[in-house]
Amino acid sequence: MAAQAFRETTAWAEGTAVNHVYLIDGDSFLAYIRAGTQEPFWFKKPIKFSRSGRRFEAVNPDPFGMSLRVLSPVNTREVAGSGGKTYIINLDEGSCTCQGYTFRGTCKHVKELA
């Protein structure tokens, strides 16, 4: 099954949850767009979920731009940080999910793989 964008339409008890737009592949969330925003947040790893009790409708056109190359094993590498955390390097963009890259726009993980 190919990943598709879905808007959650679940009728939650008032004040308990907000519905977002999700990029779903089978039974996993790959990314989401928070309600009221337009910027996707990509999960480092797919998050398994259950559709039980939840409702979704397809979203067209796809607001994620189907940027699945960001998650493609061909274009990414996992590396272990010095503190034991795992980070993902996007080889196409030369970016990393570590805090150093977030703050400085560069890091040792990217430099080591360049």
Render pLDDT for 90-100 as a digit per residue (tens, 0 to 9): 777 788 888 88
**Which letter does DSSP use for residue 84 in this model?**
S
Take residue 97 and report the two structure tokens written for it.
């999910």
| pLDDT score at 74 | 53
* pLDDT score at 71: 46
Tokens found for residue 25: 């592949």
- The C-alpha R_g of the chain, in whole angstroms, comes to 16
Report yes or no: 114 and 108 within 8 Å, Cβ to Cβ.
Answer: no
The one-letter amino acid code at 75 reads: N
Residue 26 is which amino acid? G
- Which residues are registered as beta bridge partners of 58? 6
Domain boundaries, the chain: 4-63, 72-113
* CB 2, CB 14: distance < 8 Å: no
Partners of 41 in the beta sheet? Answer: 32
Q: Is 37 exposed, middle or buried (0-12, 13-18, 19+ CB in 10 A)?
A: exposed
Tens-digit pLDDT profile for residues 13-49: 888 889 999 988 888 898 899 998 888 888 888 899 9
Residue 19's pLDDT is what?
A: 93
Under the banding of pLDDT at 50, 70 and 90, the label for residue 67 is very low
pLDDT at 51 over 70: yes
